[in-house]
Amino acid sequence: MSPERWAAVKAEAAAWDVPSSGRFALGGSGTKSHFLPPPVDPVWRLPAPADPIIQWMPDDQVVVAWAGASVADLQAILAEKGQCLPLPQTGHPDVDGRPGTLGGLAAMNLPHGLEAQCGPVRDWILGVVVRLADGSVARAGSTAVKSVAGYDIHRLFAGSRGRLGIVAAVALRTFPIRALPTTSARAEGGSSDRVFICRTPRADFDDFRRRATRVIASDPASATLWLGAEPAGFQGWMIGPNGRLQPRPPEELDRQAKLRFDPEMRLNLHLES
């Protein structure tokens, strides 16, 4: 990002009407709220930008976009030049995120139907601009696909569920539509108000799939099942309703990150366990 563009982004994020004191929760479109405990504090939502894109370098397959932009709007713009974020549609609403924001996509880092082929969302995130709870605006990472500069602080924000700060903008790697692999993710069952996403080691997947009940969708390539009921005695990676997450992230790492980025403990406290 040029110094002028960075200054403009910083000024815009600094001017948002984020609560200047007290606790608050951060919301996008709320499409993943069933995976989270309900907020106890007032919810502040990112403004939807008039133009999702801050900077686009199609030849480098990199786009910098506002986190408050909808994924669908960004996809439509990227498609004009044959590019996309590789989020395939299985046709099942519990699997294909309903229209939500880029910030929510980054903050949840959930499995998707081309994960085995194109990597997790975390790997597409090359950099972030964040507004911390104290009002300061900072950036981390870069806009280059291959970068060795500095620490990968931006990766901490992928999957952070908004606990550390407000992702204001995100630099993302894009993919050429014509070279997208075919997804092996398939919708298999009805909808559920209690979705569990489970991942096994590849070698255990077929057996797990055979024994599973209430299967909503499956993706053999990434050994992922979307289920409408909690599988008994499951030991692998799982995210479920109301903040259910296993294994929990290492407690000390989690605590230290929270203390560094939100030392006054103001943001998304309903997610602290």
Ligand X SMILES: Cc1cc2nc3c(=O)[nH]c(=O)nc-3n(C[C@H](O)[C@H](O)[C@H](O)COP(=O)(O)OP(=O)(O)OC[C@H]3O[C@@H](n4cnc5c(N)ncnc54)[C@H](O)[C@@H]3O)c2cc1C
Angle at 110 between CA 144 and CA 9, to 5 degrees: 40
The residues pairing with 84 across neighbouring beta strands, listed in sequence order, are: 175
CB of 223 vs ligand X, minimal distance in Å: 16
Task: Output 51 or 207, the one with its CB closest to ligand X.
Answer: 51
Residues that contact ligand X, how many (by CB under 6 A): 33
Within a 10 A sphere around the Cβ of 72, how many other Cβ atoms?
14
Q: Which stretch binds ligand X (CB under 6 A): 14-22, 64-72, 207-215, 220-228?
A: 64-72
Q: Which stretch binds ligand X (CB under 6 A): 9-17, 55-63, 67-75, 206-214?
A: 67-75
CB of 88 vs ligand X, minimal distance in Å: 7
Task: Output 62 or 84, the one with its CB closest to ligand X.
Answer: 84
3-state secondary structure of 34: helix
Task: Output 170 or 212, the one with its CB closest to ligand X.
Answer: 170
Task: Output 163 or 214, the one with its CB closest to ligand X.
Answer: 163
Check the CA dihedral 150-153-154-159 and report its sign.
positive
Cα 104 to the center of its chain, rounded Å: 5
Which DSSP string corresponds to 167-180?
A: EEEEEEE-EEGGGP
Give Cβ neighbours of residue 149 (< 8 Å, ≥ 6 apart). 142
Task: Output 207 or 264, the one with its CB closest to ligand X.
Answer: 264
Q: According to CB under 6 A, which one of 18, 63, 69, 87 is a site residue for ligand X?
A: 87
Give Cβ neighbours of residue 207 (< 8 Å, ≥ 6 apart). none
Q: Do residues 140 and 155 touch, judged by C-beta distance below 8 A?
A: no
Q: Do residues 15 and 46 touch, judged by C-beta distance below 8 A?
A: no
Check binding of 221 to ligand X (CB under 6 A). Answer: no
Subset of residues 39 to 58 that bind ligand X, contact rule: CB under 6 A: 46
CB of 72 vs ligand X, minimal distance in Å: 4
CB of 166 vs ligand X, minimal distance in Å: 5
From residue 157 to residue 196, what is the string marking binding to ligand X with x (rule CB under 6 A)? ----xx---xx-----------------------------
Within 34-178, where are the H helices? 71-79, 102-108, 115-118, 121-124, 153-157
Q: Give the interface with ligand X as residue ranges (CB under 6 A).
A: 26-33, 36, 46, 67, 71-72, 87, 96-101, 103-105, 107-108, 110, 112-113, 161-162, 166-167, 268
